[in-house]
Amino acid sequence: GSTLGILGSGQLGRMLAVAAAQLGYRCHIYAPESGPACDVAAAFTRGAYHDAAALGEFARGCAAVTYEFENIDVAAIDAVAAHAPVAPGRASLETAAHRAKEKRLAEACGGRPAPWRHVTTRAELDAALAGIGTPAILKTATEGYDGKGQVRLKSPDEAEAAWATVGGRECVLEGMVSFTHEFSILLVRGGDSTSVAYPPPHNEHRDGILARSSVPAPETIAAQAEAATALATKLADKLGHVGLLTCEFFATPDGPVFNEMAPRVHNSGHWTIEGAATSQFENHVRAVLGLPLGSTALTGISAEMENLIGDEADAWRALLAENGAHLHLYGKHEARPGRKMGHVTRVRR
Ligand code: ATP
Ligand code: MG
Ligand code: MG
């Protein structure tokens, strides 16, 4: 078959579908609701991620299946895998979907996360605060993104309120890392076990949401890229990962601190559409379909991607008028504060 299956209907799925179409593949989206990816896909099946029968039916028509986000149950992957190859595999999904699991794996591979504790009860939160101190960040173990499901604690007195904020769910408590910069490693690993990384972007956040990614990164990051890439490669090898693997890092005077990982294409890699010889989306599609990987080299001197968040997408007219600005709008019907509506990439040649 020449159909690629994608679980998830958001903008990442949409950009994957566009990349797949360029390689002659049709995409079939499976998601609980229609979203940006459905506008460009050949087919859409509305279905729940726990509906094994529907997932199996969907997978039967696909050459391979991938997913655009990690908040799906591993059982969904198993239901799909019975009928079509699925990548990244269940080890990648299971690990990257859980903050404690990904930190443990990073440690086992010689990486260094922020000081952290696994917290499953109110009493464990007190013990963790005693061990780690404040300031600290309490994060739900699963399902957080764009800074959601997180609460910062300035003092142990805030434990009760913080525990209420996360709804008493399984969490990790992290010490605050004092970093100079944030960056990510975008690594793509093929079915033949070889992997290749993009030049690491410098990532700047606003209100816990990625605002801007730029390459090449400043020297502070460049100096830590080799160690970080080595860790990402080890993680990918250990997981038998196939596809894009994104690892976020804090650059500190003591070297890179591992933050989190995503078993998928990532917002900090959107600049690769115009800024790299092969985009992260195309390389992910290639990996998932067992095709040779493409060059990750920069197409220009530098590239920077800016997210259009909430009403910022209203600037589209001005951006269309700007020479060299590559505008991407995701076709979301409703702007909400903090919602990613599109992005713009500028490449210097
Ligand atoms: P994403 O949208 O990247 O998936 P997320 O909701 O999973 O985000 P994190 O990446 O854990 O959240 O945190 C969001 C941002 O908050 C980080 O990029 C960083 O700026 C800040 N942050 C998170 N953890 C720490 C920490 N331990 N020390 C200092 N800053 C932190
Ligand atoms: Mg995250
Ligand atoms: Mg993050």
Residue 259 annotated as binding site: yes
**Same domain for 238 and 142?**
no
Under 8 Å between Cβ of 335 and 310:
yes
Residue 5 annotated as binding site: no
Quote the pLDDT of residue 146: 85
CATH number for 125: 3.30.1490.20
Q: Whose CA is nearest to atom 12 of ligand 1?
A: 147
Q: Is 115 in the pocket of ligand 1 (CB under 6 A)?
A: no
192: in domain: yes
**Same domain for 205 and 317?**
yes
Distances from the Cα of 50 to the Cα of 27, 31, 32, 83, angstroms? 21, 11, 10, 16
69: in domain: yes
Domain boundary among 106, 140, 175: 175
250: in domain: yes
Task: Return the ligand 1 atom nearest residue 146 CA.
Answer: 2
**Same domain for 151 and 188?**
no
**Same domain for 171 and 255?**
no
Q: Is 283 in the pocket of ligand 1 (CB under 6 A)?
A: no
Under 8 Å between Cβ of 229 and 201:
no
Under 8 Å between Cβ of 319 and 344:
yes
CATH number for 202: 3.30.470.20
* Interatomic CA distance for residues 30 and 85, integer angstroms: 15
Q: Which of 68, 259, 260, 309 to mutate to test the pocket of ligand 1 (most atoms within 8 A of CB)?
A: 259
What does the chain come to in residues? 349
330: in domain: yes
Tell me, in angstroms, the distance from the centre of ligand 2 to residue 323's CA.
33
**Closest ligand to 145 CA?**
1
* Interatomic CA distance for residues 160 and 157, integer angstroms: 7
Under 8 Å between Cβ of 152 and 136:
yes
320: in domain: yes
Q: Which residue range(s) make up the domain with 68?
A: 3-86
**Same domain for 285 and 213?**
yes
Under 8 Å between Cβ of 241 and 189:
yes
213: in domain: yes
187: in domain: yes
Copy the structure tokens of residue 257.
């601190």
Residue 205 annotated as binding site: yes
The model's pTM: 0.97
295: in domain: yes
Whether the complex's predicted ipTM surpasses the cut of 0.85: yes
Quote the pLDDT of residue 145: 87
Q: Is 50 in the pocket of ligand 1 (CB under 6 A)?
A: no
Q: Is 174 in the pocket of ligand 1 (CB under 6 A)?
A: yes
**Same domain for 252 and 331?**
yes
* Interatomic CA distance for residues 229 and 238, integer angstroms: 14
pLDDT, tens digit, for every residue of 226-277?
999 999 999 999 999 999 999 999 999 999 999 999 999 999 999 999 999 9
Please list, in sequence order, all residues whose beta carbon lies within 8 angstroms of the beta carbon of residue 167, skipping any fewer than 6 positions away: none
**Same domain for 186 and 79?**
no
* Interatomic CA distance for residues 37 and 29, integer angstroms: 7
Please list, in sequence order, all residues whose beta carbon lies within 8 angstroms of the beta carbon of residue 110, skipping any fewer than 6 positions away: 231, 234
Residue 267 annotated as binding site: no
**Same domain for 236 and 273?**
yes
Instruction: List the chain residues with pLDDT less than 70.
Output: 1
**Same domain for 193 and 291?**
yes
CATH number for 78: 3.40.50.20
Q: Which of 182, 205, 169 is nearest to 259 (CA)?
A: 182
Domain boundary among 66, 86, 106: 86
**Same domain for 239 and 199?**
yes
Residue 145 annotated as binding site: yes
Tell me, in angstroms, the distance from the centre of ligand 1 to residue 147's CA.
6
**Same domain for 203 and 153?**
no
Domain boundary among 70, 86, 102: 86
* Interatomic CA distance for residues 212 and 173, integer angstroms: 27
Quote the pLDDT of residue 208: 86
How many domains does the chain contain in total? 3
Bond preceding residue 85 cis, omega within 30 of 0: no
**Same domain for 129 and 149?**
yes
